[in-house]
């Protein structure tokens, strides 16, 4: 069976399996907030608009950052509310009980005691505001129904055990990810290979400790079973609409941004951010600090980075080695989200750095622009996402007559096929240097991604590479992505 038919077979198998019911679960934040993963993810790990804002605020929802500490009263008295049954039925119809609970109804965050913190008018304003994750549903309530629900919630003043909102269980911070793959690879004029591969097992400990401090620890064990540790600590000050934060530790220019600098739906990441030129790739993690300013109602974020840079092997965070190149690298990233509910966004990045070589430092600069246009359906699920981006670089190489130029670009589209079920098509092109003719790598990618069972994402991906020297390579991957 040739490569083409194997790719078709894998994708067809995935499509048939994907007809089962979609999962509604996610790791630690799902347990903490009692919400489904579709709130923050198109398919894990890629983020929706809500998920992007949640991560930007240090894994907090806007109302958590804005919330003031209110001393509870010493005693509470539950008020009589004659229309309680009608109010609860209205809340169920509006979907409120998917995320909240009152008495024995619902399985989410318990609303009993909310009347001690907010009166009816404040509740009515908040539930239809952009700060409320369920505002899409509550905004469709009639004025009378909205008033009824607000009056009922204001009557819930009984709260026998006031709890510090940041005193959560250990399970609220811990997640585990495992990825297993079947990989088929065929390079032109070389025998094909296929293998089962344990890609990684990763332990996460992340989340807000209090109003200001957030921690992020990631320990990844790959095929060699050597731990790969990433750690960040960040402080945030302000409110959800205007804030500053300082982050220290391991910096990521990719996978913690917007547009193509967020995680992709596909198994692979595009060549523009992973392709190396003189050891540097935008996807390389580094050690340093980041300061950022968010404003414009959570749409705009300006990020500044100072890092140690890379060592002579291209590592941005070498273990047990001193940074011998004391010259620091720096970068600036500007992100902007458009509209209110979609992930439509643009990200511009500038990076200046140096890598040491035996003949002296190579000084380099990168200029990137990445954009996403997302269209949501009537249920506010992402239906189509169009991505495009380009990254250009100039490298000052010792003893060279002119700067070395490198360039890459990518374009693709994701289409929703069902509940957390997407198809993705992408084209990448990357040229690491203009000193050598015919050294462009091209990649054509087709993927199908489905949240299949609880805590399991199943993906199939086929890639056709055209390497320098007119060499073709085919790569087909079936991945089981487990998380809990």
pLDDT digits (tens, 9 = 90+) for 44-75: 889 999 999 999 999 998 888 865 444 444 33
Give the per-residue pLDDT at 369: 98
In 188-341, where do the E strands start and end?
193-208, 213-222, 227-239, 242-251, 286-295, 300-307, 329-337
Nearest residue to 311 via CA among 303, 302, 320: 320
Q: What is the pLDDT of residue 248?
A: 96
Per residue in 77-110, pLDDT tens? Answer: 455 778 888 888 888 888 887 788 887 677 677 7
Give pLDDT, residue 472: 96
Please, are residues 396 and 403 in contact by the beta-carbon 8 Å criterion? yes
How many Å apart are CA 168 and CA 455, to the nearest integer? 22
Residue 302 has pLDDT above 90, yes or no: yes
Decide if pLDDT at 378 tops 90. no
> From its phi and psi, is residue 469 left (phi > 0), alpha (psi between -120 and 50) or beta?
left
pLDDT band at 212 (very low <50, low <70, confident <90, very high): very high
Residue 479 has what pLDDT?
96
- Token pair belonging to 438: 């015919």
pTM over 0.85: no
- Crossing angle of helices 143-154 and 120-127, rounded to 10°: 130
Q: How confident is the model at residue 140 (pLDDT cuts 50, 70, 90)?
A: confident
Q: The tokens of 355 are what? A: 């890598």
- CB 454, CB 475: distance < 8 Å: no
CB of 430 within 8 A of CB of 275? yes
For residue 292, what pLDDT is reported? 97
Per-residue buried b or exposed e for 39-60, using 16+ beta carbons within 10 Å of the residue's own CB:
bbbbbbbbbbbbbbbbbbbbbb
**Tokens (6 digits) for 306:** 């100072």
In contact, 483 and 177? CB cutoff 8 Å: yes
Name 259's Cβ contacts closer than 8 Å, sequence gap at least 6. Answer: 335, 345, 346, 347, 370, 371, 372, 387, 389
Residue 128 has φ and ψ, to the nearest 5°, of: -105, 5
Domain 170-483 sits in CATH at 2.40.160.10
- What CATH fold (topology level) applies to the domain 68-164? Cytochrome Bc1 Complex; Chain D, domain 2 (1.10.760)
Query: Which tops the pLDDT comparison, 309 or 374?
Result: 374
Distances in Å between the alpha carbon of 210 and those of 173, 244, 333?
A: 13, 16, 27
End-to-end CA distance of the chain: 37
**pLDDT reported for residue 128:** 83
SS3 state of residue 307: strand
> Which residue in this structure is represented by tokens 């250009």?
392
Classify strands 213-222 and 227-239 as parallel, antiparallel or unpaired: antiparallel
Q: DSSP assignment of 72-92, as one string? A: PPSS--PPP-TTHHHHHHHHH
Predicted pLDDT at 359: 78
Using left for φ > 0, alpha for ψ between -120 and 50, and beta otherwise, residue 185 falls in beta
Average pLDDT of the chain is 84
Taking only the tens place, the pLDDT of each residue in 229-260 is: 889 999 999 999 999 999 999 998 998 999 99
Predicted confidence band of residue 13 (pLDDT cuts 50, 70, 90): very low
Q: Do residues 405 and 414 touch, judged by C-beta distance below 8 A? A: no
Residue 16 burial by Cβ neighbours in a 10 Å radius (0-12, 13-18, 19+): exposed
In whole angstroms, give the CA distance from residue 35 to residue 23: 12
Q: Which of 294, 311, 312, 303 is nearest to 330 (CA)?
A: 303
Beta strands 286-295; 300-307: pairing state:
antiparallel
Judge whether residue 365 has pLDDT over 80: yes
Higher-confidence position of 322 and 151: 151
Q: What is the pLDDT of residues 382-421, one digit of tens each?
A: 999 999 999 999 999 888 878 899 999 999 999 999 988 9
* Beta strand pairing call for 109-110 and 100-101: parallel
Sequence-ordered alpha helix ranges (H) in 237-294: 271-274
Where along the chain do its domains lie? 68-164, 170-483
Q: What angle do CA 315, 199, 1 make, to 5 degrees?
A: 120
Residue 135: predicted pLDDT: 77
């Amino acid at each position: 069976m040739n490569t083409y038919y194997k790719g078709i077979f894998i994708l067809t198998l995935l499509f048939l399996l994907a007809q089962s019911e979609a999962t509604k679960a996610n790791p630690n934040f799902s347990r903490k907030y009692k919400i489904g993963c579709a709130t923050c993810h198109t398919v894990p790990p890629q983020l929706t608009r809500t998920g992007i804002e949640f991560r930007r605020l240090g894994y907090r929802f806007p109302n958590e950052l804005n919330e003031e500490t209110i001393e509870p009263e010493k005693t509470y008295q539950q008020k009589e509310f004659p229309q309680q049954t009608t109010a609860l039925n209205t809340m169920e119809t509006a979907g409120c009980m998917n995320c909240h609970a009152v008495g024995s109804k619902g399985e989410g965050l318990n609303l009993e005691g909310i009347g001690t913190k907010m009166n009816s008018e404040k509740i009515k304003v908040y539930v239809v505001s952009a700060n409320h994750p369920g505002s899409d549903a509550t905004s469709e309530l009639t004025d009378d129904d909205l008033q009824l629900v607000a009056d009922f919630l204001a009557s819930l003043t009984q709260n026998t055990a006031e709890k510090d909102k940041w005193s959560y269980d250990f399970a609220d911070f811990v997640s585990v990810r495992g990825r297993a793959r079947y990989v088929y690879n065929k390079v032109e004029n070389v025998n094909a290979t296929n293998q089962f591969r344990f890609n990684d097992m990763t332990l996460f400990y992340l989340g807000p400790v209090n109003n200001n401090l957030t921690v992020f620890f990631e320990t990844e064990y790959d095929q060699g079973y050597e731990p790969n540790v990433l750690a960040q600590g960040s402080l945030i000050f302000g409110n959800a609409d205007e804030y500053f934060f300082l982050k220290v530790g391991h910096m990521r220019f990719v996978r913690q941004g917007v547009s193509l600098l967020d995680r992709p739906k596909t198994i692979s990441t595009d060549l523009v951010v992973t392709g190396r030129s003189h050891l540097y790739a935008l996807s390389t993690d580094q050690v340093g600090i980041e300061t950022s300013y968010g404003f414009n109602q959570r749409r705009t974020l300006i990020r500044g980075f100072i890092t140690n840079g890379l060592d002579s092997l291209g590592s941005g965070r070498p273990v047990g080695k001193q940074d011998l190149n004391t010259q620091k690298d720096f970068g600036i990233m500007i992100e902007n989200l458009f509209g209110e509910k979609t992930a439509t966004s643009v990200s511009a990045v500038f990076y200046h750095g140096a890598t040491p070589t035996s003949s002296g430092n190579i000084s380099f600069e990168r200029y990137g622009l990445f954009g996403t246009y997302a269209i949501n359906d009537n249920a506010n699920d992402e239906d189509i996402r169009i991505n495009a981006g380009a990254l250009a670089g100039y490298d000052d190489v010792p003893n060279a007559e002119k700067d070395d130029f490198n360039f890459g670009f990518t374009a693709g589209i994701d289409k929703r096929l069902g509940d957390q079920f997407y198809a993705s098509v992408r084209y990448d092109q990357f040229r690491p240097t203009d000193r050598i003719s015919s050294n462009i790598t091209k990649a054509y990618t087709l993927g199908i991604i489905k949240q299949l069972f609880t805590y399991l994402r199943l993906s199939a991906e086929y890639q056709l590479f055209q390497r320098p020297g007119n060499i073709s390579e085919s790569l087909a991957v079936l991945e089981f992505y487990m998380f809990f």
